Structure 1
Amino acid sequence: MQTKLLRSSRHVWRNVLPGGAPGCSQGTPYSFWAKEGHPTKLAVIFAGGGACWTGENAALHGKPFYQPFAGLEEDPSNLGGVFDIDNPENPLSDYTIVYLPSANGDVFLGDSVTVYDVPAMGGLPAGKINIVHKGYENAMTALDWMFKTYPYPKTVAVMGWSAGALASPIYTHIVAQHYPDASVTHFADGGGAYRVGEKLVPLFTSWGTANVLKKVKGFENVTIDGLSLEDLYIRVAELHPEIIFHQYNERHDAIQAFFMQLMGVDAPDVPANLDSAHAYIRAKVPNFRTYTSWGHDEGIIGGYYDAVLAKNALDNRGHPHALDRLYTRQTNGVRFLDWFTAAVTGNPVENVACVDSETPEYHWTRPRFPQ
């Protein structure tokens, strides 16, 4: 196990290269990041990074829509959101944070080395490519390191955004099993609209998700036939009635619509899918809460920004105001940061849903300038 120290202001991020990790999608070494904070307050964060399941979107010279590598280039030091450790409003500012980049194109649900047929494109002839879909094993090497390094936490927040949100319930279950005396919380940022039926089966098959389920206690008898991402929430919520599972989405998330099109959905309806998915989960388990906001973007915890246009040319020297969504997003008068802080610290929250999904709402006041 090797570590490299990188400093961000007064904080230190360690790049950890775990022994035994199967590696990234192209076989390069996998590494993750850790920041030392309070030894009994942990946060484990699964990053976004897209996915691949065909030769065309797996080959780097084709149309890749996934992060294929995880190394020093994934340094989170300069990210905003929960990584803005110097922000006094950040509920994770004093936490020890373990950050897992996505690097296998399998949303951390992979346990396979898959050979894809690559069509002729980009000036290159047709061929084949091996993709290391080992996101699960890479994640487990990081978690094993965390379990050994921080054996007695009192609280653990498990969260992920975009691709990292999809498997976050399973990893919350794994963390809760290992830390039975800790207070474990969950938060998923995005990914709530993938209620696409059998169109998930080819992805699970390519990734080897069935192999993952056989390795997770409580999922040994779960098959990928008819399996939905909502079923993962339901199974874990049933296994852990003491944990509330939380999910954030923007009502017209264009990223989710794009990936549904890649799956073969002709006219993705993100709002309808969100409503259907949330209703399905709520009909089965009571420990599930959602915050559905206005907008077309994806991602709020990992350092994402809204550009608010000026009303006149003198406002902000004619440039948009760039607002970190984690700290300024608001929906129906409910500030997201307050909702998120309560969720990850184990306090109750109510469901929030936008009424007008197009009009922006911010917990922020435009600076006043002299006339």
Structure 2
Amino acid sequence: VLYFQGGGACFSADMCAEGSDSYFQVATGAQVTGTDTRDPSGIFDLNDPDNPFRDWSFVYVPYCTGDLHLGDNVNEYSDEVTVSHKGFVNASAAYDTLLDEFGDAREVFVTGSSAGGVPAPMFGALVADDLPDARVSVLADASGAYPSSPAINAAIGALWGTFENVPDWPENEGLTAEDWGVTDLFVQAGAHAPDVRFARYDNAYDEVQSSFSELAGFAGDDLREVILANEAYIEDGGVDVAGFLAPGTTHTILGSPGLYDLEVDGTSFLAWLTAYAEGRDVPDVRCTGDCATPSG
């Protein structure tokens, strides 16, 4: 498992300043390995017999750069606020560790939560390049609400230096910074590596994604409909993506004990995730009715 940690994003002096609502203090390794007082949960609970990843190795990519693991730029937002948006540099170092330590892997599951879900498709396709004999599956957790907006792609991408890190794939020839948005990573990765499997998990009215969408300047439409429109955008681009859309306003599932209990319209998320991790086809699952109210 190649897992990218989440933790928000920032693209202004107010957002990036310590103490702001979007400021995030990175978790330590102890919080993942279970050496502190909190027990790991979700896919990190390696003692749970129902965990489909209990016997897998993990490369865990911590996050503190505010750039969705995609940047390589130092930006001075104000006299008091300068941010090293070096997420891509850090992610690349972790990716090199994956290749060095697990270069003979037969299965690689590339995933991440929140900000960490965004780079997962791109790194999934990179894994397919470097480990051509491995079965590669991608799951983006709680990052499906951000449409591709040329102006926003270019503006925020310039602050973070993301476009300089676009993979040198034939499918990316002619792309501009306006074309490199969150949903575009799925489209380009899928075009480049058609054997990679892609999936997404979201809550229909995720409060965190709703807040960041507003801060970034995306239209304040019904979030459930935006998530579904983004899925359609990816599939219209020729990439099949399985979706699990749960009701409620919560944010992320993979590190939550709720992973083991969630059901939507009779479908268990754990069963869905297990089947997907094992390489089986999974259906699209979408909440219906009152999607603002959590299941159960």
Q: Which TM-score applies when normalising by structure 2?
A: 0.91
Of 100-109 and 208-217, more deviation after overlay is shown by: 208-217
Taking a change above 3 Å as real, the CA distance of residues 209 and 128 of structure 1, as seen in their structure-2 partners, is same
Q: Match of 2:113?
A: 161
Instruction: Pick from 269, 274, 277 the counterpart of residue 336 of structure 1.
Output: 269
Structure whose residues are more often helix by fraction? 2
Q: Match of 2:159?
A: 206
Q: Match of 2:222?
A: 269
Q: Give CA deviations for 1:261-289 in whole Å, capped at 9, x if unaligned.
A: 21134634311211211111122224211
> How far is 1:176 from its partner?
1.4
Structure whose residues are more often strand by fraction? 1
**Contact 2:249 2:294 (C-alpha < 8 Å) held by counterparts:** no
Taking a change above 3 Å as real, the CA distance of residues 187 and 261 of structure 1, as seen in their structure-2 partners, is same
> How far is 1:361 from its partner?
3.1
Q: Match of 2:145?
A: 193
Determine the C-alpha separation between the residues in 1 that align with 2:137 and 2:167: 24
Taking a change above 3 Å as real, the CA distance of residues 360 and 269 of structure 1, as seen in their structure-2 partners, is closer
Taking a change above 3 Å as real, the CA distance of residues 200 and 143 of structure 1, as seen in their structure-2 partners, is same
Determine the C-alpha separation between the residues in 1 that align with 2:23 and 2:111: 19
Matched, 1:49 2:13: no
Q: Match of 1:93?
A: 54
> How far is 1:74 from its partner?
4.8
Determine the C-alpha separation between the residues in 2 that align with 1:139 and 1:217: 22
Name the amino acid aligned to 1:251.
A
Q: Match of 1:178?
A: 130
Q: Match of 2:17?
A: 59
**Contact 2:163 2:180 (C-alpha < 8 Å) held by counterparts:** no
Structure 1 unaligned blocks of 5 or more: 1-42, 118-126, 304-323, 363-371
Determine the C-alpha separation between the residues in 2 that align with 1:240 and 1:72: 32
Taking a change above 3 Å as real, the CA distance of residues 129 and 358 of structure 1, as seen in their structure-2 partners, is closer
Instruction: Pick from 123, 136, 140 the counterpart of residue 88 of structure 2.
Output: 136
Taking a change above 3 Å as real, the CA distance of residues 221 and 68 of structure 1, as seen in their structure-2 partners, is farther
> How far is 1:215 from its partner?
5.8
> How far is 1:220 from its partner?
5.7
Instruction: Pick from 241, 252, 255 the counterpart of residue 302 of structure 1.
Output: 255
Q: Give CA deviations for 1:42-62 in whole Å, capped at 9, x if unaligned.
A: x1111111011111111214x
Name the amino acid aligned to 1:82.
I
Determine the C-alpha separation between the residues in 1 that align with 2:261 and 2:123: 29
Whose RCO is larger (CA < 8 A, sep 6+)? 2
**Contact 2:197 2:241 (C-alpha < 8 Å) held by counterparts:** yes
**Contact 1:241 1:287 (C-alpha < 8 Å) held by counterparts:** no
Q: Give CA deviations for 1:222-263 in whole Å, capped at 9, x if unaligned.
A: 321143322111111112222221001111111111001211
Determine the C-alpha separation between the residues in 1 that align with 2:176 and 2:31: 33
Determine the C-alpha separation between the residues in 1 that align with 2:128 and 2:110: 10
Q: Match of 1:39?
A: none
Taking a change above 3 Å as real, the CA distance of residues 281 and 139 of structure 1, as seen in their structure-2 partners, is same
Q: Looking at CA atoms only, which structure, 1 or 2, has the larger radius of gyration?
A: 1
Q: Match of 1:361?
A: 295
> How far is 1:81 from its partner?
0.4
**Contact 2:234 2:240 (C-alpha < 8 Å) held by counterparts:** no
Determine the C-alpha separation between the residues in 2 that align with 1:345 and 1:179: 18
Aligned length: 290
> How far is 1:64 from its partner?
4.9
Instruction: Pick from 97, 107, 110 the counterpart of residue 71 of structure 2.
Output: 110
Name the amino acid aligned to 1:46.
F
**Contact 1:300 1:325 (C-alpha < 8 Å) held by counterparts:** yes
Matched, 1:282 2:235: yes
Q: Match of 1:40?
A: none
Is the partner of 1:103 in helix, strand or coil? coil
Instruction: Pick from 15, 19, 43 the counterpart of residue 82 of structure 1.
Output: 43
Taking a change above 3 Å as real, the CA distance of residues 72 and 358 of structure 1, as seen in their structure-2 partners, is closer
Determine the C-alpha separation between the residues in 2 that align with 1:73 and 1:93: 18
Q: Match of 1:253?
A: 206
Taking a change above 3 Å as real, the CA distance of residues 74 and 84 of structure 1, as seen in their structure-2 partners, is closer
> How far is 1:344 from its partner?
2.0
- Structure 1 vs Structure 2 CA RMSD: 2.0
Taking a change above 3 Å as real, the CA distance of residues 351 and 110 of structure 1, as seen in their structure-2 partners, is same
> How far is 1:205 from its partner?
1.2
Determine the C-alpha separation between the residues in 1 that align with 2:218 and 2:194: 34
> How far is 1:186 from its partner?
0.9
Q: Which TM-score applies when normalising by structure 1?
A: 0.73
